[in-house]
Amino acid sequence: MALEKILSIGGKPGLYKLLTQTRTGFVGESLIDGKRITVGMRNNVSVLSEIAIYTLEEEVPLRTVFQKIKEKEAGKKTAISHKAEKIQLEEYFFEVLPNYDEDRVYASDIKKIVQWYNLLVENGITDFEEAKDEEAAAEEE
């Protein structure tokens, strides 16, 4: 499953898999407990493939950050918990993304990234590479 089908919903813990769209929103399934919820258009929803992290030079897609964590952890869950102390989380993230913008990326953001990564790994979603077929097709046209 690609990150294009994984959602973060404001005010709801964890991540959700997009199941289907409805006239007034969509139906998502929690990656934590498998419960299904209906989400309206008024909710603050982010697709993981559209999220980026600020660095000193540019914005790095979240999928790239997840890929770097995957390489650091050899495809396993992170060595650090998302509940770790702020300084430990920042040190860990500095190892993953040394040029992240410390003024615009908060400890709460790092907590979410670590928590989301671990949740994705638990659910067997570890393909963080971009879909090359779609890019190649777009370049050929």
pLDDT tens by residue, 81-140? 999 999 999 999 999 999 999 999 999 999 999 999 999 999 999 888 876 554 444 444
Angle between helices 86-96 and 107-122 (to 10 degrees): 70
CATH topology of domain 51-122: Arc Repressor Mutant, subunit A (1.10.10)
The span from the CA of 46 to the CA of 57, in Å, is: 23
| Strands (E) located in 1-141 | 6-9, 16-21, 25-30, 36-40, 45-47, 52-54, 59-61
Return the domain boundaries, the chain: 3-48, 51-122
Assigned token pair, 98: 């040394």
Res 112: pLDDT: 95
Query: pLDDT per residue over 68-80, tens digit each?
Result: 999 999 999 999 9
Predicted confidence at residue 137, as pLDDT, reads 42
Question: Do 3 and 49 contact (CB within 8 A), yes or no?
Answer: yes
How many other β-carbons are positioned within 10 Å of the β-carbon of residue 48? Answer: 21
Domain 3-48 has CATH 2.30.30: yes
Percent of the chain with pLDDT strictly greater than 90: 77
pLDDT tens-digit readout, 21-61: 888 899 999 999 999 999 988 889 999 999 999 999 999 99
pLDDT at site 134: 47
* Cα–Cα distance for residue pair 71/95, rounded to 1 Å: 12
Distance (Å, whole) CA 14 – CA 66: 16
Structure confidence at residue 132 (pLDDT) = 57
Q: Taking residues 3-9, what's their average pLDDT?
A: 92
